[in-house]
C-alpha cells in the first residue's frame, strides 16, 4: 500500500506534429484534492485522457497505488479504480440515469433487475449526498443532473481516483457549491480527486495542492495554502499578469437599442422572456446576469431576429439617427444593419463552426455573401484567420488545420474572434469566455472594451459575477424571464445581484 493513489513519471504524448504532453510527472495522494491548472491547450485534458484509457502515452510510466500499470483502454482504467468525468458527458441520451450507470458493468445475472440495481445506487446517492432521480431520461436532464449521473456512475464502478474535467464551467454558483460539498464528502472517504478548472477562486477553495502545466510541459506543484490567485496565474502564464479588468469611463453615450415590453414564447411553449424593457447605450457595456436558462438566450435571439416575440425592439443607427423596429425583420436584414450576435453554445462545434474545415473556411461562413465575383473571395478570410490566430494566440500548427482537432478553448477563440471581427454597431456576446483560460479571457475582455470605446453598444451575458461587476457599466439581472433589476456596476455588490438572480422583481 502506498499513500499515493497515482503517480505519473515522464509522460509524453504527441498528435502528429503537435506535442500535447512533454515529460510530465505528478502525484496524487489518497484523500486529497489536486487541482490541475493550465491555459487552454496546455495539455491537461490529454494528460487525464491517458489515465482514463482514451489515449495511450508515447513515453513514460503510470503508477497506481505504488505499482506500475499499463492502461490501454477505459476498461483497464476502471479495473484500476480510475474514473473520469469528461467535459462532454459520455451518456446515452435515450437511457435513464440508472441504465447509464450500469452500462458496461458485469452483474451477477445477464438479465437486468432494475429494481435491485436502483436500490443499490440509491444507497450510494445517500452516502455522499447527491440529488438524483434514477428513472429520469438523460435528455430531460439539466447539465448539473447529467454531471451527477456521471459522478455516481464512476463511484458505482468503484472508482478511487476521480478526475473531473472543468466540472463547474456550466454550473450555477449554487450547483457548484453543492458539487464541492459532495467532493469533500468523497475526500473524507479516502478518495483521490483531480479537478481541472480555470476559476482560480474555486482552485483555492476546494483543492489541497495545485499542479501547473504550461504548453504541454510540467511547471510545478504548490500547496494551496501557500498560493494566491496572483502567484498561480504567474506560474500558469509564465509572466506577470494584471488581474484587474480595465473599465474605461463611457463617453459620448447615445441610445442604440430600446427594448419595450418584450415577451417571447420559446419552442417548448414556455414564456421565456416576460415583459422585458431596457435600453442599451452605444459606448457602454451592458452586463446581463442570471441563472442559466433565465431567458438570456431567447432575449438575445429575439434581438438578432432568431426568435419571435411581442412588444417592441427599436434600433437606432448611430450614423443617421434613424429608429427602426427589429421585431419581424429576418436575421439577415438585422445583421446588415450592424447587429451582431456571438453566442457561445455549450456545444461549440455543433452550432458555431464546421469541424472539418480550417480557420479560413469557418471565417467564410459569415462572409461568403460578400464580393461580386462568382468565385469565393479567399484572401480576406485568410488574413482574418491569421489575425485571430495572432491576437488571441490560437495554438494550431497552421490556419488550415481542421478546427475539430484543436483543443476546446482554442476552438472557442476561433468562434469569438470571428464574431467580433464583424465590426458591428451592437455586439451581443453570451458566455464568450466559457471554459477559456485567464490569458484568453483577458484578451476577450480587452476586445470588448475596444469595441466599447469605438462607440459600439456591447451586451455581455456572463456567468462569472466578479467579471460582470468589473467589466460592465450597468448590469441587468434576469430572473425567470423577467427583469428583476438594473444596477450600476460601479456601486453594486455581488450579494445584491445574487439576491436579484433568485427573486422576481417587485416593480413588474
Partner 1 sequence: MSFLWAVFKGIFSVTFVQKAITQGIPLLFGATGEIVTEKSGNLNLGTPGIMYMGAIGGLAGAFLYETGTEAPNGLIGILCAILGSLLFSLAGALIYSVLTVTLRANQNVTGLALTTFGVGLGNFLGGSFSKITGTAGQITVYTTGQTFRTRIPFLSDHLGIVGDLLFSYGFLTYLAIVIALLASWFLTRTRIGLNLRAVGENAAAADAASINVTRYKYLATCIGGMISGLGGLYFVMEYLGGTWQNNGFGDRGWLAVALVIFALWKPARAIWGSILFGGLYILFAYVPLSQSMQEIFKMLPYVVTILVLVISSLRNKKENQPPAGLGLPYFREER
Q: Note the Cα 9 to chain centre separation in Å.
A: 30
Cβ 110 to partner 1, closest distance in Å? 5
Cβ 146 to partner 1, closest distance in Å? 11
Edge-to-edge order in the sheet of strand 339-343:
339-343, 426-430, 457-461, 285-289, 474-479, 482-488
Half-sphere exposure of 30 toward its Cβ, with a 13 Å CA cutoff? 13
Which of 316/412 has CB closer to partner 1?
A: 412
Which of 106/330 has CB closer to partner 1?
A: 106
Cβ 86 to partner 1, closest distance in Å? 7
Which of 62/384 has CB closer to partner 1?
A: 62
Cβ 16 to partner 1, closest distance in Å? 11
Which of 186/411 has CB closer to partner 1?
A: 411
Task: Check: CB of residue 82 under 8 Å from CB of residue 51.
Answer: yes
Cβ 167 to partner 1, closest distance in Å? 16
DSSP annotation of 137 reads B
Q: Which of 378, 341, 386 is nearest to 361 (CA)?
A: 378
State how far the Cα of 285 lies from the Cα of 458, in Å rounded to an integer.
Answer: 5
State how far the Cα of 296 lies from the Cα of 288, in Å rounded to an integer.
Answer: 8
As beta bridge partners, residue 196 has 36, 165
Task: Check: CB of residue 157 under 8 Å from CB of residue 191.
Answer: no
Edge-to-edge order in the sheet of strand 192-196:
67-69, 59-64, 4-15, 18-29, 217-223, 209-214, 33-37, 192-196, 161-165, 82-85
State how far the Cα of 275 lies from the Cα of 365, in Å rounded to an integer.
Answer: 34
Which of 89/180 has CB closer to partner 1?
A: 89
DSSP string, 18-52: EEEEEEEEEEEETT-EEEEE--TTSSHHHHHHHHT
Cβ 45 to partner 1, closest distance in Å? 9
Which of 111/319 has CB closer to partner 1?
A: 111
| Cell (9 digits) for 428 | 451581443
Which of 151/280 has CB closer to partner 1?
A: 151
Cβ 478 to partner 1, closest distance in Å? 29
Task: Check: CB of residue 132 under 8 Å from CB of residue 97.
Answer: yes
Which of 75/387 has CB closer to partner 1?
A: 75
Which of 104/220 has CB closer to partner 1?
A: 104
Which of 1/94 has CB closer to partner 1?
A: 94
Cβ 8 to partner 1, closest distance in Å? 19
Task: List interacting residues with partner 1 (CB under 8 A).
Answer: 15, 52, 54-55, 73-75, 77-78, 84, 86, 89-95, 99, 102-107, 110-112, 137, 139, 153, 404-405
3-state secondary structure of 384: helix
State how far the Cα of 411 lies from the Cα of 10, in Å rounded to an integer.
Answer: 28
Q: Which of 103, 167, 101 is nearest to 134 (CA)?
A: 101
Cβ 192 to partner 1, closest distance in Å? 20
Which of 156/343 has CB closer to partner 1?
A: 156
Cβ 76 to partner 1, closest distance in Å? 8
Cβ 215 to partner 1, closest distance in Å? 18
Task: Check: CB of residue 484 under 8 Å from CB of residue 504.
Answer: yes
Do you know the residue count of the chain?
A: 508
Q: Which of 3, 4, 18 is nearest to 407 (CA)?
A: 18
Burial group, residue 300, by CB count within 10 angstroms (0-12, 13-18, 19+):
buried
Amino acid at each position: 500500500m502506498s499513500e499515493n493513489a497515482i503517480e505519473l513519471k515522464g509522460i509524453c504524448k504527441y498528435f502528429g506534429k503537435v506535442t500535447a504532453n512533454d515529460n510530465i510527472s505528478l502525484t496524487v495522494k489518497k484523500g486529497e484534492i489536486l487541482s490541475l491548472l493550465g491555459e487552454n491547450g496546455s495539455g491537461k485534458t490529454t494528460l487525464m485522457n491517458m489515465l482514463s484509457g482514451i489515449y495511450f502515452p508515447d513515453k513514460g510510466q503510470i503508477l497506481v497505488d505504488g505499482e506500475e500499470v499499463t492502461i490501454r483502454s477505459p476498461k483497464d482504467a476502471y479495473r484500476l479504480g480510475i474514473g473520469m468525468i469528461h467535459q462532454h458527458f459520455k451518456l446515452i441520451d435515450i437511457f435513464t440515469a440508472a441504465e447509464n450507470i450500469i452500462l458496461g458493468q458485469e452483474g451477477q445475472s445477464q438479465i437486468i433487475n432494475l429494481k435491485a440495481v436502483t436500490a443499490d445506487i440509491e444507497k450510494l446517492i445517500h452516502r455522499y449526498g447527491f440529488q438524483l432521480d434514477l428513472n429520469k431520461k438523460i435528455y430531460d436532464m439539466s447539465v448539473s443532473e447529467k454531471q451527477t449521473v456521471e459522478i455516481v456512475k464512476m463511484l458505482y464502478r468503484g472508482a478511487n481516483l476521480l478526475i473531473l474535467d472543468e466540472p463547474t464551467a456550466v454550473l450555477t454558483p449554487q450547483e457548484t457549491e453543492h458539487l464541492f460539498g459532495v467532493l469533500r464528502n468523497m475526500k473524507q472517504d479516502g478518495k483521490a480527486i483531480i479537478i481541472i478548472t480555470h476559476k482560480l477562486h474555486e482552485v483555492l477553495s476546494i483543492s489541497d495542492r495545485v499542479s501547473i502545466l504550461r504548453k504541454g510541459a510540467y511547471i510545478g506543484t504548490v500547496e494551496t495554502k501557500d498560493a494566491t490567485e496572483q502567484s498561480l496565474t504567474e506560474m500558469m502564464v509564465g509572466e506577470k499578469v494584471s488581474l484587474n479588468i480595465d473599465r474605461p469611463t463611457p463617453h459620448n453615450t447615445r441610445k442604440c437599442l430600446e427594448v419595450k415590453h418584450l415577451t417571447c414564447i420559446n419552442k417548448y411553449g414556455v414564456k421565456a422572456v416576460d415583459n422585458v424593457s431596457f435600453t442599451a447605450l452605444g459606448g457602454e457595456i451592458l452586463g446581463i446576469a442570471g441563472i442559466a436558462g433565465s431567458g438570456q438566450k431567447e432575449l438575445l435571439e429575439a434581438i438578432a431576429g432568431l426568435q419571435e416575440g411581442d412588444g417592441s425592439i427599436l434600433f437606432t443607427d448611430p450614423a443617421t439617427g434613424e429608429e427602426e423596429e427589429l421585431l419581424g425583420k429576418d436575421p439577415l436584414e438585422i445583421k446588415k444593419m450592424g447587429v451582431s450576435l456571438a453566442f457561445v453554445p455549450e456545444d461549440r462545434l455543433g452550432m458555431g463552426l464546421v469541424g472539418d474545415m480550417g480557420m479560413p473556411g469557418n471565417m467564410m461562413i459569415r462572409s461568403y455573401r460578400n464580393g461580386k465575383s462568382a468565385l469565393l473571395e479567399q484572401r480576406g478570410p485568410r488574413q482574418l484567420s491569421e489575425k485571430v490566430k495572432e491576437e488571441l494566440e490560437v495554438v494550431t500548427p497552421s490556419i488550415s488545420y481542421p478546427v475539430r482537432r484543436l483543443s476546446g478553448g482554442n476552438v472557442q477563440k476561433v468562434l469569438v474572434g470571428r464574431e467580433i471581427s464583424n465590426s458591428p454597431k451592437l455586439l451581443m456576446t453570451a458566455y464568450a469566455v466559457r471554459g477559456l483560460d485567464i490569458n484568453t479571457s483577458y484578451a476577450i475582455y480587452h476586445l470588448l472594451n475596444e469595441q466599447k470605446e469605438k462607440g459600439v453598444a456591447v451586451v455581455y451575458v456572463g456567468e462569472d459575477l466578479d467579471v460582470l461587476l468589473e467589466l460592465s457599466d450597468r448590469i441587468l439581472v434576469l430572473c425567470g424571464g423577467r427583469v428583476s433589476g438594473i444596477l450600476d456596476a460601479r456601486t453594486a455588490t455581488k450579494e445584491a445581484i445574487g439576491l436579484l438572480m433568485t427573486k422576481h422583481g417587485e416593480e413588474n
